[in-house]
Amino acid sequence: MSRVKRGTVRARKRKRILKHAKGFRWRRKNVYRLAKDAVHHAWAYSYVGRKQKKRNFRSLWNTQINAACRQNDLSYSKFIDGLKKNNIELNRKVLAEIAKNNPEIFKDLITRIK
């Protein structure tokens, strides 16, 4: 069997991992064996983080809507139920934005629901 020298291929692979490990602490930033493990863990965490970001923002929007509803003497669940019964199709992101930046419009929505 012929000998395979992996000079450029291995160098490119190593350079890619070390580039992604830039900013890591201690030897994990410049020792390939440690950097490879750290980078693979970082990629796994970032994948999970992208999924969690969606959950976190939705819960933040729910909290903001709830706070605005409570200021107008209405519970969050009754507010959402009223929106559905009146066929007002606004998502939570838009509702939170309205509640934060345009409280008079949000108050109008609440009066329409009541």
Q: For the chain, which ranges sit under pLDDT 50?
A: none
Q: Are 64 and 100 in contact (CB under 8 A)?
A: yes
Q: Are 21 and 35 in contact (CB under 8 A)?
A: yes
Determine the Cα–Cα distance for residues 11 and 26; give it in Å rounded to an integer. 22
8-113: what fold? c-terminal domain of poly(a) binding protein (1.10.1900)
Q: Dump strand ranges (E) for 4-79.
A: none
Q: What would the two tokens of residue 13 be?
A: 């692979």
CA-based R_g, the chain, Å? 26
Q: What is the pLDDT of residue 5?
A: 82
Q: What is the pLDDT of residue 15?
A: 94
62-77: per-residue pLDDT in tens? 999 999 999 989 999 9
Residues in the chain: 114
Domain-wise residue ranges, the chain = 8-113
Q: What is the pLDDT of residue 69?
A: 93
Q: What is the pLDDT of residue 1?
A: 81
